[in-house]
Amino acid sequence: MIPKLAAGRRHSVGLKSDGTVTAVGDNKNGQCNVADWRDIVAVAAGNVHRATNTGNSHTVGLKADGTLVATGWDKHKQCDVNGWSDIVAVAAGWRRTVGLKSDGTVVAAGRNDEGQSNVYDWRDIVAVAAGDWHTIGLKADGTVSSAGNNRYGQCNAVSWRDIVEVAAGYLHTVGLKSDGTVTAAGLNKHGQCEVSGWRNMVSIAAGSYHTVGLKADGTVAVAGLNMQGQCNVSDWRDIVAVAAGCAHTLGLRSDGTVAAAGDNEYGQCEVSDWWGIQLPGNINLPKS
């Protein structure tokens, strides 16, 4: 699913139906400076795990012409994407940006201390996800590629089959299967990988320590840490897309408004006045 919502460590980003972007939350590093963006078709927000007491984050926008714009924290050159072209999907992790090209190859910018940016030999990729220290690629045949930190087995997804969507959290990875079930690998200290009983899912998202699943009936399932109330979504209805930040969760309703739950210390959940957020659907992307 092409993301119209994105959630970072302390900020939230929404893509509007007119191709402009709105953002709320911590703006210490300019990660919410998106008011002048135009012709955007997808957004991504860099996350930071809660153990790191910093709001350092960045925001990336994919333009209709296949180029990127980025703003925010750039210590590791994760915002140096101006020269990229033919991009059809984008993901943002901690200190890096990952782009999927129209030919199925992948590019990355930013930190690579743990090999999380070693994606240049990937082929036939149709979607990408970025955790804090690992990167996941979904291949056209429904299998998965991975790179980066594997301390907790978060990269142990090579045996997965029939995957149609991937998500990456701090130290865990989630895959949505074609039959609507969900699989997960990695750190499960807070139960964030306990998704084996989920059914009828159409989309997924991964926060630092929680996992979110969108059901076909527009309701939402969640597993994992709920210290900040990020899992309090049982009353959500008519949801068509979900996003998960460090400790907050966003849900896009069918009417273009947004629901939020969880950590709101920096106003990242103050989205009640958002409207006209672009609904999921096919968009015109660059052709190879």
The model's pLDDT over 39-63, given as tens digits with 9 standing for 90+, comes to 999 999 998 776 556 668 999 999 9
Q: Report pLDDT digits (tens) over 144-181.
A: 999 999 999 999 999 999 999 999 999 999 999 999 99
Answer for the pair 253, 241: CB distance below 8 angstroms, yes or no: no
Q: Report pLDDT digits (tens) over 174-231.
A: 999 999 999 999 999 999 999 999 999 999 999 999 999 999 999 999 999 999 999 9
Q: Where are the domains of the chain?
A: 5-262
Question: How do strand 87-93 and strand 96-101 relate by DSSP bridges?
Answer: antiparallel
Enter the DSSP assignment of 162: S
Answer for the pair 98, 90: CB distance below 8 angstroms, yes or no: yes
CATH topology of domain 5-262: Methylamine Dehydrogenase; Chain H (2.130.10)
Q: What is the pTM of this model?
A: 0.96
